[in-house]
Amino acid sequence: MQQEVVLAMLAKEPSHGYQLRARLRQALGPIGDAMNDGQVYVTLARLEKAGLATSEQSAGLPDRPDRKVYALTAAGQQRVAGWLVQVSWPRPDLAEFHLKLIAAAAAGLADPLAIVDAQRRELLRRLRDAQRAALAEPDRSAAGLLLEGIVLRLQADLRWLEACERNWTPRKDPR
């Protein structure tokens, strides 16, 4: 879980750890179900250590992590502001697969087409799952939007795999 994400979630108002968790869950939908609960607290602790957030004990309650109230520090706010205007984008990591195919062909270890087909099948399955989940979400839900994004990325990857298939298909002589 990226630190900046949690920081940004705190920007609205100081919150308990469990409140943060709930907000994340809501934003992520079914994907959020796979999230490790503990992750949030680990990240919060790191943030505190880095001086980007502070914590306060809720009055009159035992000293347990989910009773702490966390808030942004000035440095933390600065970090969030900087993060919001960043335009970096997660990098596609296609080089690995690309090199896999080349290596297999060069060394004669495996048929590149078979590798492509297998990968296609896997991606199709994932697409199916993501799509099902997306359709199950109500209209205009935040989670639905995220799932749509996943689906579209998978679709793009599948298109590239089709291109790989065309490229690696041995040229046939006209019959």
Partner 1 sequence: MNEFGASVLRARGLRKQYGKGEGLVRAVDEVDLEVAGGETVGVMGPSGCGKSTLLHLLGGLDRPSGGELWLAGQRIDQLGERALARLRRDKIGFIFQAFHLMDELTAAENVELPALLAGRPARWARRRAAELLERVGLADRAGFLPSALSGGQRQRVAIARALVSDPQVVFADEPTGNLDSQATVEVLRLFEQLHSAGQTLVIVTHDSRIAATAGRLISMRDGAFVDETRLTGGSTGNLGALAGLT
Directed axis angle between helix 95-107 and helix 142-168, to 10°?
30
Q: What is the CA radius of gyration of the chain?
A: 23
Q: How do the residues of the chain divide into helix, strand and coil, expressed in percent and rounded to 5?
A: 65, 5, 25
Q: Which stretch binds partner 1 (CB under 8 A): 11-19, 68-76, 78-86, 148-156?
A: 148-156
Q: How far apart are CA 151 and CA 146, in angstroms?
A: 9
Residue of 10, 52, 130, 164 interacting with partner 1 (CB under 8 A) = 130
35 is an interface residue for partner 1 by CB under 8 A:
yes
Measured from the CB atom, the residue of 12 and 140 that comes closer to partner 1 is 140
Shortest distance in whole angstroms from residue 124 CB to partner 1: 6
90 is an interface residue for partner 1 by CB under 8 A:
yes
CA 72 to chain centre: 24
Residues lying near partner 1 in the complex (CB under 8 A) are found at 1, 28, 30-36, 90, 117, 120-122, 124-133, 135, 146, 150-152, 154-155, 158-159, 162, 166, 172, 175
